Amino acid sequence: MSLLIRALIKYVIGLLLVGGLIFLPAGTLSFGNGILFIGLLFLPMLLLGVFLFLKSPELLEKRLNVKEREHTQKGVVAVSGLLFFVGFIVAGLDFRFGWSHVPRGVVIAASVVLFLSYALYAEVMRENAYLSRTVEVQKGQRVIDTGLYGIVRHPMYAVTVWLFLAIPLVLGSWWSLLCFLPYVAVIVVRIRDEERVLSEGLLGYSDYKKRVKYRLIPFIW
């Protein structure tokens, strides 16, 4: 019950925080793109949380832990949070003052990408029971090299890049997209540092890097 209560508290806080960052700058709750985004993000999140609580409470426990120990990763988390904070506010202001217009077709396509990204997010968690939100080598951890991990070494980060770049387009703001774009560089920094930690502490990871050559995007990087 303690795990359930903590998960629900974090869920509600996240919903209120993101909603506040979007709708307060918009100056209204009649922000259709904002409502669409909240539904696309938080309804699947709720379903995934319920599934993890029932089927894999250990993984849910890991996903609730966001306290980084690595110095570089603390900086990555701080910069990521700042980008999201600014990006959501700009999206609300963009709607309020009509700074830009994203065509409906682009919004629909971005909504599909966001939804599919979340589905892949769930699949990655199904494949990797060691998927903590912090960079660490866990007791008894082994290298996962099947499924999506046989295509790229960091499928979770690949999915989050698509997910977070879709967010500002779902919200209907080109200016917000500019705020989210640096997230790609932040993820690159996180991956490089994480691979250093895993190569030093996880048995077999160096061999895995030789077998699966691409980190984020097949045939590119």
DSSP secondary structure code for residue 28 in this structure = S
Q: What is the dihedral of CA 172, 78, 136, 148, to 10 degrees?
A: 10
Q: How many domains does the chain have?
A: 1
Residue 86's pLDDT band, with cuts at 50, 70 and 90, is very high
Contact assessment for residue 47 and residue 11, using Cβ atoms and an 8 Å cutoff:
no
> 221 in a domain, yes or no?
no
Tokens for 84, please give them. Answer: 């999201």
Domain CATH number, residue 175: 1.20.120.1630
Q: Would residue 203 be called left, alpha or beta, if left means φ above 0 and alpha means ψ between -120 and 50 degrees? A: beta
> 220 in a domain, yes or no?
no
Name the residue range of residue 86's domain. 2-211
> 13 in a domain, yes or no?
yes
Is the pTM of the predicted complex or chain greater than 0.85? Answer: no
DSSP secondary structure code for residue 144 in this structure = -
pLDDT tens digit sequence for 138-162: 565 777 877 888 888 888 888 889 9
> 172 in a domain, yes or no?
yes
